[in-house]
Amino acid sequence: MKTRTLPRFEPVGVDEGRMLWKKYRGNADVERMLLELAQARQTIGEIETFFASVRRAWEEENLGQLVAMEKIRLLLMEHHLRYRALAGLKPPPRDENPDEPEPALVD
């Protein structure tokens, strides 16, 4: 499935979403769009939780680093950082034990 690349845009922050909810209260289309945005953010949060469980199990079995899992991890991390910035939250403290880089393939 090929997805379209979205143009760069300023995301809707938490405060802005609340303001839009109050301003357009009663407009079913705007309310539905804002609820869809909130639902998508909740779903991504649930996916982050499930991903963490799968990743822990994967690592406990010493199965190495799966490329697809790493890409999902990076997408979730990007979303999480973006959401925290929108909410006006400080970034999380740096991990003292950063992930090991993937070893180079030997031919």
pLDDT tens digits along 15-59: 899 999 999 999 999 999 999 988 988 888 888 888 888 888 887
- 50/55 Cα distance (integer angstroms): 9
Domain locations in the chain?
A: 14-86
Per-residue pLDDT, averaged over 70-82, amounts to 81
pLDDT of residue 68: 77
Rounded mean pLDDT, 56-69: 77
In this structure, what token pair is assigned to residue 80?
A: 């999480």
Q: Residue 99 above 80 pLDDT? A: no
Spatial distance between the Cα atoms of 48 and 50, rounded to a whole number of angstroms: 6
**For residue 93, is pLDDT > 80?**
no
Query: Has residue 106 got a pLDDT over 60?
Result: no
